[in-house]
Each structure stands twice: as C-alpha cells, then as structure tokens.
Amino acid sequence: MRRVVGAVVGLALGSSALAQGAPVACRGQPGVPAWAGPGVFWGTLGGGPVALRLGPGDDGERARYFYERRGVNITLVPTHQRETLLLREEVWTLSGTEVTGCLRLERAGTGLRGSWTSPDGKRTLPVTLAPLDVTRLPLNLPDSPGLRKLRASDPLAFLKLNRAWVKEAGGASVRESLSGIRYPRLPGGSAALDAALQDRQLVHAANALDCRARLAGAGEEAYVLSAEVTFRSPRLLSVFESAGYFCGGAHPDGFDVGLILDRATGREVPVTAIWPGLTPMRLRTLYLTRSGADGECREVLADPDLKLTAHLTPGGLALTPTSLPHVVTACADTVTLPFASLGDRANPQGTYFRDLYPR
C-alpha cells in the first residue's frame, strides 16, 4: 500500500475547482413525480450518447448519469415541479460541492425527453432517453460471476466495463482502457481461473471509476493499483494487490489484498486448507513474533482484532495487516513465514501439500 499511495497525493495539490457560476433554478418539491420509477435509460444529450439511472425511492436514490465519451458518473439530485422531473448535477471539488447543470425531463411514452441547461443559463441542449433493459445486453467479456453480479447491482458500471479489454505482455496482463486498471493473467490457464482474475479486475476498475466520479477533474492517478503474481505451482496461483486512492476527503488512503487461488477452479484457497492449524488468531501470534516491531507499532499490531491478508511467495506465507488506521499504516509491514517453519502444521493428505513440500 505504501508504494502506491504517494502517487495520488499530488491530486490533492494539483486539482482546481470548477469555474463558479450562478446556477439556474433547479429546485422543486422534494421527491420525484409519480411516473418517475426506477430504471436505466440510454439516449443523447446534445447529440452525444449518455446513460442515466434513476434509483428506487421518492428521493431517486442513486440517480446519476454519464457521458459515454468520458465514462465518469455525475451525481443527480432529484426534485420535481408538478410533472416535470428536475435533476440537479452536482460534483465535489476540493473547494466544495458545485452545481454543473440542470436536467428538466418529462415523460415521453416509456422514455424521457427534455433539456440540459448550464449553470449560468446561457446554454441549453436537447435530451432524449429511452428505457434500457441492461439484463438483456450481451456479455462482451468472458462470462463470470462478477460480471453478472455487476450487471445486476451497478448497471451503469456494467455499461462502461462490458467491452473488450486489451491484452498486454503476451497475455500475461490485461488493461481495462476506461479506468486504466491492469491485472495479471496466466496464459494457458483454466477458464475458471481467468474468470476469477477478471472479476478481481472488475472490482478495481469499478472502484477506480467511482473514485473519479467523487472528485471533479480526477484522472487515472486517483486510483492506482499494483497487482502481481507472487507464486505459481501446478495447483496454486497467488496474487498480491496494493491499491492507493484519493477520492476527496482529508488524505489519500489505500489497502492491500492477498489472494491464494486454485488454478483449476479459480476459487480462493483458505490458509487452513493448506495448514489446518493456522487460524486467524494463530496467524496474528506468528506475525507479531516475527515482525520485529517495537514502540507504538508493536502496540498497534498487538491488537487482538488485527486483521491480516495472506499470499504465497517463493519464500513462504506472507502476512500483511489490513485493518490499521490511516495514521499508523507505516506499521503495516509484510512478514513472511518460511514454508519449512510451517511444515509440521501442513496437512500431508491435503490437495496442495506437494505444491509446497515436494519430495
């Protein structure tokens, strides 16, 4: 985590607020018109393609839209004037929330029609939207549980990410172009493993786009991911992820995730499937014993609620703290437990024993 957080600090110093303007009237009665039910819509704003989502509830929860050419959500605050739906664009900048436009929409058959007006009222563009059943759209990526889950839970993110990704380094890495997120692959690996790695990349790509939506002017530097294969054997693949982000707020932040995957099924392999006795409590004890931390760090790491993430390396089982407060993340050093030191805890009859303890 500490390797990448520094890459996003400059965003806090280099971003500038959007031009101030006197917003046009875009406030009505609380809630939405009776006809404005939840749904996803696709159409044009000023001739450019856009997608819009109205969430459930009278307040139009999770109302937002994006321009296809940018792929970044813009928050919409709904109100209404009689049968007209008003959607006020709001973006967050380092100097506060700003209104960037107003959508005035009427029901037009099953769709929506109206206009978008700039904050100063000097520019107005036509808006035409038709309902879109995202569940009927084809999958443009290999089918995976995460892709189907994203289509159901976050249709706007699905619309952005459900497109061909770019293979790099002979297929050893894949780049999602809109977010810029790269993630490793195992050329020649099973379809199930490829789906599992794709689903991890989907999570980070959606996170990156959501981060950029939270802070006006943020680019790829707002969410930076380092993901690398740290171990491979006939039955196992291990990946270590380190993400750093700044999406607004007081300071940048980050997190680490270790993965141990079954190469045939793509499923995560718990540490106890290899070493049955290594419960979370026992791992915390071993981590603290080998960490060499002292002073404030040792006090923080001795917390009985400390959470650790695990991944495999050629040198052994690596443990990294994941639950430390931001002010003490410098204490989150990775500690590696050599395989030899864990040999008496391993299950000789286990599926993965020979991968780590060959004869």
Which structural domain, as residue segments, surrounds residue 324?
270-359
Q: Which of 134, 150, 182 is the last residue of a domain?
A: 134
Whether residue 166 is contained in a domain is answered as: no
Give the confidence band of 204 by pLDDT, cuts at 50, 70, 90: very high
Q: Which of 134, 159, 187 is the last residue of a domain?
A: 134
Whether residue 232 is contained in a domain is answered as: no
Number of structural domains in the chain: 2
Cα gap 135→40, rounded to integer Å: 11
Cα gap 51→237, rounded to integer Å: 38
Say how many residues make up the chain: 359
Whether residue 352 is contained in a domain is answered as: yes
Whether residue 212 is contained in a domain is answered as: no
Whether residue 217 is contained in a domain is answered as: no
For residue 117, pLDDT beyond 90: yes
Task: List the CATH number of the domain containing 117.
Answer: 2.40.160
Average pLDDT, the chain: 89
The model's pTM = 0.89
Whether residue 310 is contained in a domain is answered as: yes
119: its two tokens: 């904050």
Whether residue 64 is contained in a domain is answered as: yes
Residue 17: predicted pLDDT: 35
For residue 171, which of 185, 157, 182, 159 has the smallest C-alpha distance?
185
Per-residue pLDDT reduced to its tens digit, 259-294: 999 999 999 999 999 999 999 999 999 999 999 888
Q: Which of 101, 134, 167 is the last residue of a domain?
A: 134
Cα gap 39→118, rounded to integer Å: 25
- Counting beta carbons within 10 angstroms of the beta carbon of residue 25, is it exposed (0 to 12), middle (13 to 18) or buried (19 or more)? exposed
Residue 300, sorted as left (phi over 0), alpha (psi -120 to 50) or beta, turns out to be alpha
Report residue 176 CA to chain centroid gap.
12
Whether residue 169 is contained in a domain is answered as: no
